Structures are given as C-alpha cells and as structure tokens.
C-alpha cells in the first residue's frame, strides 16, 4: 500500500513539473484599470435629484468634469434647443476639477441633476491627460401644476 502511494506521488509531481515551466499569468490587465472612465451614472440613464458622479483615472491625475445640459420645452416642440431667454441659462454649463486618489478613483459627491420644468438632457464629460469620455443622462419628468 505504501509503495502505491509513493509511486502515485512521484507520477503526480513528475506530471506537474512540465506545467511549472509555463509563466504564471493573471487574466487582469493592470493598465486597463488606469483608463479614464465614468462609472456612474451610466450612459442613457434617467436621473432626477442629487447624485454622486464617480469614475477611474490614473492615480493622482487631475480630472476636469464638465456638466452641460440642453433644455426642451415639451416633447411636442420638435425638441429645439433653448439658448436665450426661455430657460435657466446659469445652469447650462458647470465645470469641476477633481484629483484622483492613489487608487485612481475620483468622485464628485454632490451634484443636482434635476430639470427646471423642461425636458433636460445632461452631458457629463470627464477629461484628463488629453483623454476624454462622456455619458448622456436625461430627466424628462414634467412637474405637476397644482391650482
């Protein structure tokens, strides 16, 4: 019985030595984790209220976050952009500068993505090191007028 166990161990270790000569690889690319990205909110997501916007970048990189919006009066007006006089112009373009932490995570903790009575589409664009990514989210909820 001991001879059988000894022979089995020798055959098992001899078979594994051929496999040990192959280099050890992991199925995760470290460089891919440092690409600039917006993790939340997702593209084409409905938003309404205060949100956190977060993503990934190179550790220590400065990420410039641009939030712009397009206002629409109703769904029946051919969705023409309102540029002057018909919407709250002060909210159309917002810019924030964020530094990624040592793990490459960046976050803007509080931003209001809420329409001002119109159908509104927000474009969120992050730029860093001459790279840019963007997502588009929307709030098409119409407020209810109470008499």
* Measured distance CA(125)–CA(15) in Å, rounded: 54
- Provide the CA 48 distance to its chain's centre, in angstroms: 17
- The C-alpha atoms of residue 147 and residue 29 are separated, in whole angstroms, by 59
pLDDT tens figures, 58-105: 999 999 999 988 775 544 555 555 554 455 444 568 899 999 999 999
* Domains of the chain by start residue, with CATH: 32-139 (2.60.40.10)
Rg (CA), the chain: 26
pTM listed for this prediction: 0.65
Task: Find all residues with CB under 8 Å of 113, minimum gap 6, and list them.
Answer: 41, 47, 48, 49, 50, 51, 67, 122, 137, 139
Average pLDDT of the chain is: 75
């Amino acid at each position: 019985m001991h001879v059988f166990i000894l022979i089995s161990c020798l055959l098992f270790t001899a078979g594994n030595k051929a496999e040990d000569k192959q280099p050890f690889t992991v199925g995760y690319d470290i460089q891919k984790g440092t690409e600039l990205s917006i993790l939340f909110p997702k593209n084409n997501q409905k938003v309404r209220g205060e949100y956190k916007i977060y993503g990934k970048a190179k550790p220590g990189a400065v990420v410039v976050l641009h939030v712009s919006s397009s206002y629409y009066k109703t769904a029946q007006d051919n969705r023409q952009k309102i540029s002057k006089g018909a919407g709250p112009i002060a909210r159309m373009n917002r810019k924030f500068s964020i530094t990624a932490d040592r793990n490459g995570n960046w976050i803007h903790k509080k931003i209001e993505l809420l329409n001002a009575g119109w159908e509104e589409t927000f474009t969120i664009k992050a730029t860093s090191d001459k790279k840019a990514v963007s997502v588009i989210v929307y709030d098409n909820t119409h407020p209810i007028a109470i008499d």
